[in-house]
């Protein structure tokens, strides 16, 4: 019998998430649980390339685990785990690094981009794509859905798997297919640039009610008088409202723009309400999870066990192929 398609993706625990992270990364990752046999992990080894504070690392891992569960990740359907709970990944990363030409890593944009943004140029930051390849190859993943920014890392992964297979025999590693999510639109920030934690223009997924309203009220608009029609193109309110509103509510807002007679304050109020309602069930679930820390630990421990079983199988195969066993 054909084994269900194995899909894998990782999410970096980078602190409080904004709605851009939700629509661009978290929601599509959670959607995988209905597409095949999904492995979703929290990439905590990776985030050590940027986070040096142990308390912050622990808190970030916990927060992203709770947020994923609150947003519908179902640990009955998904193998959900923390990267560092499967230390075998380091062994595979080492083996991959022995076949990885330096020139392959020198070509990677993300290293240069991160250094340009002031992140310290450590060996780990440079070798990050090798660890990411190990994340994927350790579980015989067939498909890896990621955003465009990760495309090059998947090419490195396929390249390294091919090199291992050439050197040690076909079938030593499964060469995965990338699935690049081109269709995920970039969520604009409150100032019109891409929403990003580095630009301080984000709307948090789980902000407090008053503070979130205040942020929404800060959205930049033009000075069209209330009675006049308002431009639809270039509006920052409409694309954000689109994320939360149903079709009828969205159409009504477009028409109110075109007709005139409704002010930006009113549109922002509708946006604030839609945002608040959209996350309401997730917010409630999140409160419950925060009050029950044992549950989150249990979920991650179970996921770690499942992931380690699989990792042991693959690492055993690779060890035999390369001559370590
Ligand atoms: P940030 O720009 O806030 O630092 P990251 O680079 O840590 O965000 O991105 C984490 C994930 O969230 C990535 O998969 C990225 O594609 C997604 N993401 C971040 N910002 C947005 C956005 N504005 N719109 C859509 N997806 C986004
Ligand atoms: N590098 C990815 C990011 O920054 C996270 C990640 C780590 C990942 N390992 C992975 C994604 C393996 C997919 C598969 O978003």
Q: Note down pLDDT in tens along the chain; length 325 residues.
A: 345 689 999 999 988 899 999 999 899 999 999 999 999 999 999 999 999 999 999 999 999 999 999 999 999 999 999 999 999 999 999 999 999 999 999 999 999 999 998 999 999 999 999 999 999 999 999 999 888 889 999 999 999 999 999 999 999 999 999 888 877 788 999 999 999 988 899 999 999 999 999 999 999 999 999 999 999 999 999 999 999 999 999 999 999 999 999 999 999 999 999 999 999 999 999 999 999 989 999 999 999 999 999 999 999 999 999 999 9
Judge whether 288 lies within some domain: no
The bound ligand whose nearest atom lies closest to the alpha carbon of 157 is 2
Interval 194-215: pLDDT, tens: 999 888 999 999 999 999 999 9
Place of tokens 């979920």: 299
Q: Specify whether 210 is catalytic.
A: no
User: 34 CA distance to ligand 2 centroid (A)?
Assistant: 20
Could you tell me where the DSSP H helices lie in the chain? 19-21, 27-31, 44-47, 54-70, 88-99, 102-106, 109-116, 123-137, 151-168, 209-217, 237-244, 247-259, 264-278, 280-291, 293-322
Check whether residue 182 and residue 248 sit in a common domain: no
Check whether residue 75 and residue 180 sit in a common domain: yes
Which residue among 163, 197, 213, 214 is the active-site one? 197
Judge whether 20 lies within some domain: yes
Q: Specify whether 197 is catalytic.
A: yes
Number of domains in the chain: 2
Judge whether 196 lies within some domain: no
Place of tokens 């000075």: 223
Please report, for the domain that includes residue 310, its CATH number: 3.40.50.620
Classify burial at 217, counting beta carbons within 10 Å of its beta carbon; exposed 0-12, middle 13-18, buried 19 or more. Answer: middle
Check whether residue 15 and residue 63 sit in a common domain: yes
Check whether residue 101 and residue 230 sit in a common domain: no
Q: Specify whether 114 is catalytic.
A: yes
Tokens describing residue 84: 């560092």
Tokens describing residue 320: 């035999």
Rounded to 10 degrees, the C-alpha dihedral 281/285/286/290 comes to 160
Judge whether 1 lies within some domain: no
User: 212 CA distance to ligand 1 centroid (A)?
Assistant: 19
Place of tokens 């007709």: 259
Check whether residue 24 and residue 99 sit in a common domain: yes
Range of the domain at 229: 209-278
């Amino acid at each position: 019998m054909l084994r269900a398609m194995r899909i894998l993706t990782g999410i970096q625990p980078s602190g409080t998430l904004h709605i851009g992270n939700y629509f661009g990364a978290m929601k599509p990752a959670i959607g995988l649980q209905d597409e095949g046999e999904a492995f979703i992990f929290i990439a905590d080894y990776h985030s050590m390339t940027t986070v040096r504070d142990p308390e912050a690392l622990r808190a970030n891992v916990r927060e992203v685990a709770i947020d994923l569960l609150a947003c519908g990740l179902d640990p009955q359907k998904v193998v959900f785990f923390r990267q560092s709970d499967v230390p075998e990944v380091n062994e595979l990363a080492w083996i991959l690094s022995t076949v990885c030409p330096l020139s392959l890593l020198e070509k990677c944009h993300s290293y240069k981009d991160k250094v340009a943004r002031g992140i310290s140029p450590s060996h780990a930051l440079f070798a990050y794509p090798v660890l990411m390849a190990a994340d994927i190859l350790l579980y015989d993943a067939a498909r890896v859905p990621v955003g465009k920014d990760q495309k090059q890392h998947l090419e490195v992964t396929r390249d390294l798997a091919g090199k291992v297979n050439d050197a040690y025999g076909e079938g030593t590693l499964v060469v995965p297919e990338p699935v690049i999510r081109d269709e995920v639109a970039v969520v604009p920030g409150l100032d019109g640039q891409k929403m990003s934690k580095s630009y301080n223009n984000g709307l948090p997924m789980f902000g407090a009610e008053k503070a979130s309203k205040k942020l929404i009220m800060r959205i930049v608009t033009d000075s069209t008088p209330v009675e006049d029609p308002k431009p639809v193109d270039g509006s920052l309110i409409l694309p954000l409202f689109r994320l939360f509103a149903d079709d009828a509510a969205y159409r009504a807002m477009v028409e109110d723009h075109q007709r005139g007679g409704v002010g930006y304050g009113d549109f922002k109020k509708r946006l604030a309400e839609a945002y608040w309602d959209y996350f309401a069930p997730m917010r409630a679930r999140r409160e419950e999870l925060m009050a029950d820390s044992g549950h989150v630990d249990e979920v991650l421990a179970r996921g770690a066990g499942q992931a380690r079983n699989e990792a042991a199988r693959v690492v055993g195969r690779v060890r035999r192929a390369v001559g370590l066993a």
